[in-house]
Every structure is written in C-alpha cells, then in structure tokens.
Amino acid sequence: MDRRPRIVVVGSSFAGFTAALKLAESLRTGGQGPEAQITVISNTEVFTFMPSLIWLPFRVRTREQVTFPLRLPLERHGVALLIDTAERIDRGTREVVTSDRRIPYDYLVIGTGPKVHFDAVDGLGPDRNGKKGYTHSICNLDHAEDTRKAWDDFLRDPGPVVIGAVQGASCFGAAYEFVLNLAYQVKKHGLKDRVPITYITAEPYLGHFGIGNFGSARKLTELFFEKMGVAWRINQVVDHVEQGNVVLADGERLPFKFAMLIPPFRGVDAITRSPGLGNAAGFIEVEDTYRHRQDERVYAAGVAVAVPPPGKTPVPCGVPKTGYLTEEMAKVAAHNIVADIRGEDHVKLPFASIDAKCILDAGNTGVIMTADHILEPRSHAWLIPGPEAHWAKLAFEKYFMATHKRGYV
C-alpha cells in the first residue's frame, strides 16, 4: 500500500501547473519519484498561454501555437493527471468531490482560476445559458476563437468599436493590450478613418490597472491612446448592453459594431459550493504562506486567492493577479507543503510584496513594466516604452512554451 502523502492540485493553468511541478521537483529523492502522490485534477487536457489570447482574434496566433498537452510534462515528473471537474471540496473527509468520484487528499492546492462573471451586467459577454450577450471576450481560448470570427465579420462591415473593463473587473492589462492591438490592426487594414475606438473603464484614470500610482503609467498610457487614436472614458459604470449599444449608468449610449468588455471575476463553483472554503465572492482568504486561514491542509494560489483592493476608487476595481504573480504564489504554496511534510519552516511572501514584471503589448510596440512591489509602497516602478517591449513579449512567449511543455517552471 502506498503510504506517501497525497497531494491534490485542483486546476492546471499557471497556479496548478506550477505548484504541481514545483512539488514534484522539491519532493524528488535521488533518482526516485516524488516522496508524495501528486495528482492534478483538470477540466481540460491542454495548457493555454493566456497572455497570447489578445492576438488570437486578429489571426496573429492560432490555438495550436498557444497551447500544449498537459499529460506528458506532468507524468514525466511523476504527477498524475485526472481529467474531471471538481464540484466541491469536502474538508471534513478531506476529499475533492466530482460528479462520480471522491479523491482523497492530505494536502490540497486550489489553483482553479476564476469564474467569468458576465451576469454582473445584463447583455455582457457572449450568449450563455439561454441569456443573450452582445459583447465579445478573450477570457478563455474558446471565447478568443469566437471573437476572431466576429472580428472577421467586422472587417467586412466596420464601424464604431467599444473596448474596456466594467465595474468590478480586475484583468485590466488584457483590456489595454486588446484595445491597443485592435487600434494597430485597424490602422494596418486602412480603416482608421472608418473605425472610431472608445475605451471605457472603471479605473479612476488610465494606467491605474487596479493597483494605483504605478510610476508614469498614467501619462504613458494617455500618450499611447492619443497616438493610436483611442478615445477614453474613466470612472464608468455600465448599466447594460443592448444590440449595438453599451448603455452607461447615466443613460448615455455608446454605439458599436464590435465590442469587447472584460467582466468581473468570481470564485469557481467548486469553491462557492464548499461551506467555509471561500469568501462571499468565492475567493480564498489565505495567510502570507498561501495556506487557508482556517484549514492547515488547504493552500491556494492565483486568481482563486482573495486580494482586497489597495484603496477605494469611485467605481469598484479589482486587483489583477497576472501569470507571473500567480506562479510566485504557487511556488510559495508548494514550498510550504513540502515544509509541512518534512517538518521544516514556512516561508512568507505577502501578495503586496511580490515584485511586478509585466509587458503591455501594443501590436508592434508596447511597454515593459517592472517594480519591486506590485502594490504600494514601492521604491521603484519603471516603465520602458518602445518596440523592444513587443519583441520581449514574443521572446518570452517562445521561452515559456518551450520550457513548460517540457515540464520546467
């Protein structure tokens, strides 16, 4: 009978994939397999490099270029992959419950990512569950491919465009990259005079990003928008979306032929169906070790983690949890599970103290962003604009895909 500790990782994107492989690496003894049973529960068989989804609608990338199969890199490192959907967590019996099985664990890592909350605004998002939606999305691979079809249609019959992030959203970087890539494509197709572009956001100013006062981000973002012909509206609340119009809270209608609006995120159903696991929004309150505040056998990383906004804004804004931030959280969680098993000390890394590394792509240029802390106070926050940012993102994409598909994180 295998008496090794059982570690179950729910989710297989940046948080789950990183945590599983770091656990396997840290728990490997000599030439043997890991000194724990590690199982990843995933509702998909492929890893998707989410930062590249901004390019899919414009046919700059394909599905095959931004994904790779999960099984080989995981199993190569002694990690089992179970394709299933977690429905809830039974913390009393320490089991992950799916539709037809119960998977026991000694330690649990929750790296599920978010539930995309289109229902926050009537008419937001694509059609879903019998509800009509009028805007497009790049929040997952299928959404991005559907948006590509809509973009192809738009090029045959262009008109006004509305892009942005609604109240409560947190993934502002994707919205900025998408609108700047769209503006680049509009110019490339010779449509600049026929396609007015409006960016709407819940942020109190451009370049707030849900984190606030990031160096010269406000000035630089405004300069990019002016140069690329993008009008902007800040502190906006979207009341609803109807066919051809984004309707704001004050009743103003912004007409569109094409619209992409980032929604708020919520915790996934497996968390909200598990009493005491998450907060009211379905996110998990963790210590600086990324261990659950009330359950020493449960850890979490990535979007599933609850992070309060650093300050109040006129319109609610969430805090972004990028792929880099997610991987840093996952590494700390993995380290501390190993420490639990071996009786060693935990390490701590408060979310606010994680360093920031980000590239904002704008088609053929962009901005490299780096800071010592993602949230204030910071000793530095540097922004480097120019075409080197675009090339840096391309290079990082290739590096990430080449290493991760071989199981290195």
Catalytic residues, by residue number, are: 171, 358
174 three-class SS: helix
Tell me phi and psi for residue 62, to 5 degrees.
-120, 170
Please name the residues in contact with 252: beta carbons below 8 A apart, sequence gap of 6 or more: none
Under a CB-based contact definition with an 8 Å cutoff, are residues 82 and 41 in contact? yes
Under a CB-based contact definition with an 8 Å cutoff, are residues 322 and 331 in contact? no
384 three-class SS: strand
Query: What are the structure tokens assigned to 323, written together?
Result: 């792929």
Query: What are the structure tokens assigned to 190, written together?
Result: 């010779």
Count of CB atoms within 10 A of residue 100's CB? Answer: 7
d(CA 31, CA 235): 57
Cis ω before 69 (30° cut-off from 0): no
CA dist 289 → 94, 298, 300, 348, 396 (Å)? 20, 11, 9, 5, 28
186 three-class SS: helix
CA dist 24 → 13, 34, 107, 212, 299 (Å)? 16, 5, 14, 37, 16
Q: What residues does 136 pair with on adjacent strands?
A: 260
Under a CB-based contact definition with an 8 Å cutoff, are residues 199 and 232 in contact? yes
Distance, CA of 166 to chain centre? 16
d(CA 337, CA 42): 20
Question: What amino acid is encoded at 83 in this protein?
Answer: I
Under a CB-based contact definition with an 8 Å cutoff, are residues 117 and 169 in contact? no
Query: What are the structure tokens assigned to 262, written together?
Result: 């980032």
